[in-house]
Structure 1
Amino acid sequence: MNIDTIELKQQQLTYPQLRKTQQYLMPARLTGNSGQPNGYDIYPVAPLGAGKIFTGFDTLADYIIKTKAVLIDGFGGVFWDKVQQQLQSCFNDKDLSVNWIYTETFLKPTGEIDALVKPFLGADDSVWGTKATFDLIDLFEPAIEQQVPDAKFDINIVIGTGAALAGWASPIIYLDVPKNEIQFRMRARSITNLGNAKVAEPFQMYKRFYFVDWVLLNQHKKNILNRIAVMADAQWPETINWMYQQDLEAGLDQLSRSVLRVRPWFEPGAWGGQWMKEHIDGLNKDVVNLAWSFELIVPENGLVFESDGNLLEVSFDTIMFSNNQHILGKHAARFGDEFPIRFDFLDTYKGGNLSIQCHPALNYIQENFGENITQDETYYILDCDDNANVYLGFQEDIDPSDFRLALEESQETGKAIDIEEYVQIHNAKKHDLFLIPNGTVHSAGAGNLVLEISATPYIFTFKMYDWVRLDLDGKPRPINIEHAFNNLDFSRKGDKVQQELISKPQVIESAPGYQLVHLPTHADHFYDVHRLEFDSSVTVNTDNTCHVLMLVEGQTILLQTADGTQKQFAYAETFVVPAAAGSYKLTNTGSGRAKVIKAFLK
């Protein structure tokens, strides 16, 4: 959808004290000419039809007035004081008395909560913890469950995270906040963690969000999803958009049977490049670089619905809680609510090298961090310059002790090392696929736009060497040599790297104007990759499994699912066809041959 850039910049500059980022706040309402653009769309929406999304605190207040008693629950990171003030102003206009009951008053003392949380936060200087195994209610005193409406007031409201724990037989209004906005608020120190009155360093707050807050709040949201009467989007400090639960359910059900695309978001980084800045419209071009695009990292992406131009975003896990069988088909029993495949961009074009790194083995990530699956990755080269390369696998004569000593000395002295003495470097070309099962030493070199096709976990990167540079805040990034050496597979070296870690494309189907190319993944990968290449159109069966797709060559394609849903996608846009779609047709609507990557579970 087309959005007025001037309006976006005004929105961005309005709230610098509330959100620390150079990325724009998604508008609450579409402006300008609507319609699918020919280029990459940073605000993809799922239309619901007219009259489904309402805007403004006054309309929500009218709903509450009719209901008389409500529970206003929501995710962590909501500006609860602003919500209360806006609603109170609406009630004042109608001279109504309100009994406000704040969930924060029922939180256990900070010391008790800190003691409960501490075992899941790991070492103070570590960026990792372990996923919490207690419940949201454990943060509260029993009195929260003993609240009752007071008949002396016109309106009774329990407000705050955990409001549904009060147990009233009253409608739940749930306020969602996108994960990227939570992080922007966290960095601005305008919010803090559950049950913690003090702000901390951003990496410490993020660690607590990831391993504690989000675990508790996702489970709580799942527990109450069928009781929610109103879903609201609270990412805008001065307004709110909301919809009735039955319309949300219908929208999620439609997406789960046809096609969906999450809202991507973008971040600069120490090694970031210029490809996304140069090729994707609507982004703030004043940033120094862009390193990542969260194309489909679903623990932190949302789905955006649209009605009458009004937008409303819900976290992706909402569709997994309600429709995981439709999404994953025959693999739902294995993965449950967890969407197992991720797509993201690593932009080193006119940028720098990623750190030399590896990822944890399956048993290691399960035992140490509480994850279910590990970070088995691939690098698909979407675009690159003539000098691009990828670091992958060890040299034949690698001596682990010498390698570790060199890394530790570099870490202590700040002196650069010749990493190619230890790690192989490979020329990267457009459409190459490099295989990175857990334990493999690797890095994306400068000059690439990498489409990272991977299992979903995404923060468990053990950096060994970071080119003795500082991050964008002028600080060294954490180096994790001990973790890395607990996981490195030193058998992935020499000729074995070329044989086993660089995919060898195979044409497995062909017809005039069409071929299906298999890009085999490693035996450790639980997903596989195909590339559909066609001049006009091709029809694909889902075979009761989910497909994650991207147009990697060409301008645009039109997708039509078996139920008649049609959606156009541009170059480099990620989209998902759920298992329940049954089949879909892709039509090339640009010039030249279209090439579409398809990742799917084995």
Structure 2
Amino acid sequence: MSIEEPMRKTEQEIMPARASQITKPLGYDIYPYYSLGDNKIFNGYSSLCDFIIEQKTVVIDGYVGVYWNKLITALKEDLIDRGYALNLIESKNYLKSQAQLNEMIAPFLGTEGSVWGTKTTLTLADYFNMPALTEIEKSTSADINIITGCGASLSDWKAALIYVDLPKNEIQHRMSAGSICNLGLDLQKEQTEMYKCFYFVDWVVLNNHKKALINDIDIFVDAQWEDSINWAYGKDIRKGLEKMSSSVFRARPWFAPGAWGGQWMKEHMPQLDRNEVNYAWSFELIAPENGIVFESSSFLLEVSFDALMFAQNKNVLGVHAAKFGDEFPIRFDFLDTFDGGNLSIQCHPSLKYIQREFGENITQDETYYILDCKDDAKVYLGFQDNINPTEFRDTLEKSNLYNEEIDIEKYVQVHQAKKHDLFLIPNGTVHSAGAENLVLEISATPYIFTFKMYDWVRLDLNGKPRPINIDHAFKNLDFNRKGATVKQELIIKPSILFEDNDFICYHLPTHKEHFYDVHRLEFEAEVEVETNNVCHVLMLVEGAAITVESADGAIMTFPFAETFVIPAAAGSYKMINKGSERAKVIKAFLK
């Protein structure tokens, strides 16, 4: 593949390499970072070469999507210019054949054209001719020995380990540009097939590999920029992760357009690129795809949220770490339909179904919290009392076959949406967010298992039909969630849990299927909260801004609509209202 191809396809700018290049807004900030202190992050290939020269022998491992050719060329040119003789070996030369790799991963990719596969049981070693890889010897005649590429550390060289990482959003922007391939492969797949392979195979394999290496990495490299890198010593990153895991922090959000996407985020988040057609989703806190950004002496370096969980899951999850391990179980994201369209009529799989069919550990139990909406905003939720499943399926099948609109309200209930409403969407519940909403989706972490039944006869942003999954849906739909039961059980009526002076804690009880619960904390001045060894995920849902002081002395300010995390190990924290109106903060936590 030519490294001259366009690096990424998106209207959105790449994260700046320096904090000094970011103009901080008064409100929502798309570039949050956590300081490591001074002189902990370094810039450029030349400074990394200084480290390599000191070591004489290095292993450079890393993630799929990295432009390995660019990295290797930059290191070679710098070291050769300095007069060093190199022995540089690429791990890709020890991969199994393309035919072997495609045959190996095929069982995890479902049928051709299907939306989902099954999480792989493969390991990174399965990709390689391991006897040949482990027999590679260093050259005694070379000044410097380097082995580089995904899986380089499987060579078992006893040497300093450099790990090159790439944010998941940038992997997808490169995928859209056609400038990268899936792990080990030379030929590009169609984009939906590439993403499926990333999600069910590549990321699983490489995350397990990263987890095994996390405490042995000597250098972390952030390679999201086309012509440069930022890097830091592993001990400093691990120290930062440890400190963060008992403090307060915010992941870096990212944003994506969609067929039904709206304009609320574009209007209220000034750093977002206004050339994007719309913003449908924000990945506020979707742990498998978010990153965490560190800052030092203005340089920025992003690591995956997974790295925090691999290193500090017990501090983050506290009493729930034994159950969830290094899988962060709560998801926050925005669904923006302001001046946009309705989401598809959809449902999500049962726990047994998602485990059996897709290899997930937990299922996609959701809630919709209405952060903002217009007067005519609606939420579709639950069936009409007289629902006839056979008639409903026949109508859906006919609509899909003949591309015909249907009167969906004949089958599915529609409810007016108002600010601060909470709608419960346990698995198997038919639902959709209507136009003119900004929904804060509070959910279990799985996020791609949406069984669409009706999509309003529209095309995606590339002019193609969006996949309809009627068969999957009807294996999971709960037709007992209908009639009056919907308002009684799925539309929440908050109750006061406790109050003290100007502080009120409301309980927004979730469904018995949900393993997380929701509180809303309302206060004029300030409030102190104990974690009780449970992780809290929070957002200011009304008010200008709050300052959060954690027990370790860390202080961060969060304006309206920013998601932040208080790990279980933080112990306690104080929230101080910085605005003139009463602050309202949503808190989600594991039961």
User: Shorter chain as normaliser: what TM range?
Assistant: over 0.9
- The residue number in structure 2 matching 1:538 is 527
Alignment partners' CA distance in 2, 1:503 and 1:74: 46
- The residue number in structure 2 matching 1:473 is 462
- The residue number in structure 1 matching 2:260 is 271
- The residue number in structure 1 matching 2:114 is 126
Is 1:596 paired with 2:585?
yes
- The residue number in structure 1 matching 2:125 is 137
- The residue number in structure 1 matching 2:322 is 333
5+ residue gaps in structure 1? 1-13
- The residue number in structure 1 matching 2:500 is 511
Matching residue within 486, 489, 496 for 1:500: 489
| CA deviations over 1:290-326 (Å, ceiling 9, x no partner) | 1000000010000000001100000000010010000
Structure 2 vs 1, CA of residues 517 and 287 (structure 1 numbering), >3 Å: closer, same or farther? same
- The residue number in structure 2 matching 1:289 is 278
Matching residue within 8, 30, 33 for 1:19: 8
1:125 deviation in Å?
1.1
Alignment partners' CA distance in 1, 2:165 and 2:304: 7
Kept in 2: contact 1:374–1:457 (CA 8 A): yes
Alignment partners' CA distance in 1, 2:181 and 2:30: 28
Alignment partners' CA distance in 2, 1:573 and 1:43: 11
- Alignment partner of 2:224: what SS? coil
Q: How does 1:566-585 map to 2 (within 5 A)?
A: 566-585=555-574
Is 1:117 paired with 2:105?
yes
- Alignment partner of 1:31: what SS? helix
Q: How does 1:160-309 map to 2 (within 5 A)?
A: 160-309=149-298
Kept in 1: contact 2:378–2:435 (CA 8 A): yes
Q: What amino acid is aligned across from residue 555 of structure 2 in structure 1? A: Q
- The residue number in structure 1 matching 2:50 is 62
Kept in 1: contact 2:25–2:270 (CA 8 A): no
Structure 2 vs 1, CA of residues 571 and 54 (structure 1 numbering), >3 Å: closer, same or farther? same
Is 1:369 paired with 2:369?
no
Matching residue within 411, 433, 440 for 2:429: 440
Alignment partners' CA distance in 1, 2:25 and 2:181: 38
Matching residue within 456, 464, 484 for 2:473: 484
- Alignment partner of 1:115: what SS? helix
Alignment partners' CA distance in 2, 1:527 and 1:158: 45
1:31 deviation in Å?
2.4
> Which contiguous aligned blocks of 4+ residues in structure 1 show a shift greater than 3 angstroms?
none
Q: What amino acid is aligned across from residue 482 of structure 2 in structure 1? A: K
Kept in 1: contact 2:25–2:271 (CA 8 A): no
Kept in 1: contact 2:510–2:517 (CA 8 A): yes
- The residue number in structure 2 matching 1:317 is 306
| CA deviations over 1:84-113 (Å, ceiling 9, x no partner) | 111111112211111110000000001111
Matching residue within 539, 542, 545 for 1:556: 545
Matching residue within 59, 63, 76 for 1:88: 76
Q: How does 1:403-422 map to 2 (within 5 A)?
A: 403-422=392-411
Alignment partners' CA distance in 2, 1:393 and 1:148: 64
1:33 deviation in Å?
7.3
Structure 2 vs 1, CA of residues 383 and 334 (structure 1 numbering), >3 Å: closer, same or farther? same
Alignment partners' CA distance in 1, 2:4 and 2:26: 31
| CA deviations over 1:366-404 (Å, ceiling 9, x no partner) | 000000000000000000000000000000000000000
Q: What amino acid is aligned across from residue 466 of structure 1 in structure 2? A: D
Kept in 2: contact 1:391–1:425 (CA 8 A): yes
Instruction: Between 487-496 and 182-191, report the one with greater CA deviation.
Output: 182-191
- The residue number in structure 2 matching 1:3 is none
Structure 2 vs 1, CA of residues 15 and 543 (structure 1 numbering), >3 Å: closer, same or farther? farther
- The residue number in structure 2 matching 1:9 is none
- The residue number in structure 2 matching 1:47 is 35
Calculate the TM-score normalised by the size of structure 2.
0.98
| CA deviations over 1:169-220 (Å, ceiling 9, x no partner) | 1011000000000011111111001121100100000000000000000000
| CA deviations over 1:251-288 (Å, ceiling 9, x no partner) | 00111000111100000000000000000011100111
Matching residue within 87, 91, 114 for 1:99: 87
- Alignment partner of 1:504: what SS? coil
| CA deviations over 1:105-157 (Å, ceiling 9, x no partner) | 00000111111100000011101000000210010002111112101101100
1:511 deviation in Å?
2.5
1:483 deviation in Å?
0.1
| CA deviations over 1:562-596 (Å, ceiling 9, x no partner) | 11111100100000000000000000011110000
- Alignment partner of 1:228: what SS? coil
Structure 2 vs 1, CA of residues 542 and 15 (structure 1 numbering), >3 Å: closer, same or farther? farther
Matching residue within 464, 474, 497 for 2:453: 464
Alignment partners' CA distance in 2, 1:454 and 1:106: 42
Kept in 1: contact 2:98–2:185 (CA 8 A): yes
| CA deviations over 1:220-263 (Å, ceiling 9, x no partner) | 00111122100010101100000001100110011100011110
- Alignment partner of 2:117: what SS? coil
Alignment partners' CA distance in 2, 1:373 and 1:341: 11
Alignment partners' CA distance in 2, 1:578 and 1:163: 34
- The residue number in structure 2 matching 1:386 is 375
Is 1:453 paired with 2:442?
yes
1:17 deviation in Å?
1.0
- The residue number in structure 2 matching 1:7 is none
Q: What amino acid is aligned across from residue 411 of structure 1 in structure 2? A: N
Kept in 2: contact 1:343–1:452 (CA 8 A): yes
Q: What amino acid is aligned across from residue 560 of structure 2 in structure 1? A: Y
Alignment partners' CA distance in 2, 1:195 and 1:65: 29
- Alignment partner of 2:38: what SS? coil
Is 1:72 paired with 2:60?
yes
Q: What amino acid is aligned across from residue 269 of structure 1 in structure 2? A: G
Kept in 1: contact 2:379–2:417 (CA 8 A): yes
- Alignment partner of 2:214: what SS? helix
Structure 2 vs 1, CA of residues 16 and 44 (structure 1 numbering), >3 Å: closer, same or farther? farther
- Alignment partner of 1:83: what SS? helix
Alignment partners' CA distance in 1, 2:342 and 2:328: 29
- Alignment partner of 1:227: what SS? coil
- Alignment partner of 2:266: what SS? helix
1:350 deviation in Å?
0.9
Q: What amino acid is aligned across from residue 556 of structure 1 in structure 2? A: A
Q: What amino acid is aligned across from residue 484 of structure 1 in structure 2? A: A
Kept in 2: contact 1:23–1:284 (CA 8 A): yes
Q: Name the count of aligned residue pairs.
A: 588
Kept in 2: contact 1:38–1:556 (CA 8 A): no
Alignment partners' CA distance in 2, 1:131 and 1:598: 31
Structure 2 vs 1, CA of residues 27 and 16 (structure 1 numbering), >3 Å: closer, same or farther? farther
Kept in 2: contact 1:390–1:427 (CA 8 A): yes
Instruction: Between 329-338 and 187-196, report the one with greater CA deviation.
Output: 187-196
1:518 deviation in Å?
0.5
Alignment partners' CA distance in 2, 1:287 and 1:118: 35
- The residue number in structure 2 matching 1:11 is none
Q: What amino acid is aligned across from residue 115 of structure 2 in structure 1? A: V
Kept in 1: contact 2:286–2:331 (CA 8 A): yes
Instruction: Between 159-168 and 25-34, report the one with greater CA deviation.
Output: 25-34
